[in-house]
Chain A
Amino acid sequence: MKSPFDTTLLKLLDIDESSLLAPAINSRANLFELTEQSYQAAIFPENPSILNHSQRAAVAVRICLLNDEMQLADHYKELVTNEDDQDIYDINELPKDLRLASIMNHIDANSRDPKSDPQSQIAKLKSSGLSDTEIVGIFAIIAFVSYQLRVAKGLRVMKEGL
Chain B
Amino acid sequence: MTNKVMDFTIDVPFWNPFVTPIDINTASELQLQALQTTPSNRQVGEYVLVLAHDPETLIHRTPLFNGIMYSRGGLSRAETELSAVATSVTNECIYCTAVHASRYNDLTKTTSDIDSIFKNTNPADLDTRKRSIYNFSHKLSLCPPEVVKDDVAELSANGLEADEILDIVLSSSIFSWANRLMLGLGEPLESKPQ
Contacts and interface: CB of A to CB of B under 8 A. Distances in A.
Chain B contact residues: helix, strand, loop or mixed: helix
A60 to B, nearest CB: 13
Contact of A132 (B19, B165, B170): B19
A133 interface: yes
Given A24-B162, A34-B63, A155-B169, A143 B180 contact: yes
A28 B54 contact: no
Contacts, number: 173
A157 B152 contact: yes
B176 A147 contact: yes
A138 to B, nearest CB: 9
Contacts of B60: 34, 37-38, 41
Chain A contact residues: helix, strand, loop or mixed: helix
B57 A42 contact: yes
A110 B184 contact: yes
Contacts of A66: 143-144
Interface string B28-40: 0000000000000
Given A114-B180, A139-B185, A151 B169 contact: yes
Interface string A118-134: 11011000000000110
